[in-house]
Structure 1
Amino acid sequence: MTEPDVLYTDLAFVKSRGNAGKDAASTEPETNYASLKVVKVQSQPPDPNGAKLTWSKFTTERKALVAFGVLLISALVALCWVAYQNVQLKKNHQQLLSDHDELKNSWPATQESICRRCETNWELEGESCYYFSEIYLTWESSRRFCQRETADLVKIDTYNEQRFLQLRLKDIMSSPEDKFWIGLSDSQQEGQWLWVDGSRLDSSFKFWGRNQPDNYQPDKGGEDCVRIGAKLARSKFTTERKALVVFGILLISALVALRWLAHQIVQLKRNHQQLLSDNEELKNSWPATQESIRWRITWELEGESCYYFSESFLTWERSREFCQHQTADLVKIDTLKEQRFLQLRLKDIMSSPWDKFWIGLTDSQQEDQWLWVDGSRLDSSFKFWARGEPNNYQPEEGGEDCVRIGEKDSSTNVQNWFDKVCAVPHRWICEKAAQKGLPRCVL
């Protein structure tokens, strides 16, 4: 029994007798009575030698040991988890570093120029920064000012740079005589014009004004430094003459516009049926699966080739470098079907008749020997030069040795190749072979 108190009973039997004086016949039988005696006994302690405990009794020390054991196991589990996370983090970090380096190496070279910028008050054009002063100094003082800015007076190397400076100065010059110093001088030897970097002025590349240089002031030591700028002086017309000129220009413009609109309406009617036919053909030749239609965001699939039409402007050489970064090259046109596809596509994305695209054709190695980027010669029986092309129109720029494509105002005229100076920025078309069996181009 588990109770701490145990009840025991002791029974005592008492025999009662009848009264002596009464009749023996009336004597009742003997009756037995029980007396109950309760004794409370204290419970005995358990046997220390093998008796089974029925209730575990831990001391405070044992409880503390159990708690510390649980905490120690939890700490070991947490330590193992942290160590595992640290190993994973290091692996991910190394992978990120590798991806970062790969992205940097594969990033197109154009991004470097796109991200360039100049300091405050300097203007970015091409790969150079320009500062146009608002104060007046001598040529020597102007040069010292530039040198303090870790720069020098401008040296003009290209026709594009000369044109940029002329257009910019036209806006900021306050009068025809408000000209700007450039880094050209013959102060060391009369008639020997040198740039500030010590190089001689190229006799085939100069932009002197009419009757210049004339060394007009010999009494002051001569005119040995060069300034730039041309701002037309205001013509002194009366108000009535100005009004007549304006009305005359407006009238001529209106007549020209009406003539042009009439021509466009006639041309539109003539080309309507042809345009419907071209659209139907384009729909039929479009990739069959909806997946490829949704996919074509950057590269476009046509036949067995993938094409990329750029949105930025680069020189011919930089355009080709961009394509080569994409495991492609500037487009080589092999068939009339391909030429016609490109013409239709460019007509939709050209912003103006001058917004043409570079293709992979050049005669930069030898004049009039036109070669594709894969080294093959242009087939004399298969070419699409525009009327009067190639004409090598700008020999002073080294000649027009690269070819661009595009005709904004016509979808049917496939004769739309034009030669151009290779250093002029244009948009471009890349081409690479499509993978067989796939309904789309793979990056």
Structure 2
Amino acid sequence: MKCFLSLLLLPVVVWGYCDPEFTRVGEQCLSFVTQYQLTFEEAGEYCNEMRGASLVTIDSATQFKALVDYIYSSELAIASYWVDGNDKDSEGVWISSSGKKFPMGTPFWAAYRTSQEPNGIRKENCAHLFIPVNFYINDFACNRTNLFICEQADVPTRIIQYEPPEVKSCPMHYVEVGGKCLSFMAYEEVSWESARLRCRENEGDLAIVDDIELLRAINLYLQAEELTDHDFWLGASDAQTEGQWLWTDGSSVPMGTPFWGLVAQYNQEPDGGVDENHLALLSKGYFYFRDADGSLPLHPLCQLAE
């Protein structure tokens, strides 16, 4: 028993205090430099002079969401910001200054109905949070200037122990994705209301995707299973009150970046008004949230009832 418990009690890092020049944002200590607009290289050098800091890294969907939420809540939505990502050495291979892989796809990079960033080929090799696209990541010419965000290096930490959650065991027709038991019914296409009925027949309901890591996990699963040419219904609607998006359990749907996709002229979903009252993940939208006509035939994405 002692040996078994030792396997469960795994170490986890807990972040310490930030230096005075930095502010806690999620699990990072950050400084938003708004007094200078510098090139990508100059911004990195400026950060390095701040006790060895660097441009802010983005390693997870949770981290990215915390960063964007902070920009909006702290009145920092004034211009675009450099972040630590580039493909200068090898076109299309995006890395950070430390050589780590830079996250790609949804829910990080700006996506429209027919295209997703990065799209600058050899002319745009550095990553920034682009204000016209609601601070989704966009590729940009490295010699242009932006505001930028520095991340404190060597944040003091301490180690505690915790017992990790159990891995879900999902029943037939369901698969574990992002800690949930989901069923991707790729064999039939039905309206939103009919999709709910199909899910209920299988002891579930249309999926509630209220965590950004779950949206990321769904995207990775669709890629791995070669389902990226399918469209799926989710369990949310604003049919009762236009503009008030609610999940089937009555909770509010998260709005804005990094959940909802973009449309032409840099506008953000939802944009369908009274004609599009149901929530979908569409292939021609890179599986960001998009409003759609509930009568359309899409695949049910079910979640096992808990």
The question of a shared fold, defined as TM-score above 0.5 by the shorter chain, is answered with: no
- Structure with the bigger RCO (C-alpha within 8 Å, sep 6+) is 2
For the aligned pair, the TM-score class normalised by the smaller chain equals 0.3 to 0.5
State TM-score, norm by structure 2: 0.41
State TM-score, norm by structure 1: 0.29
Which structure has the larger Rg over C-alpha atoms? 1
Identify, as 1 or 2, the structure richer in strand.
2
Identify, as 1 or 2, the structure richer in helix.
1
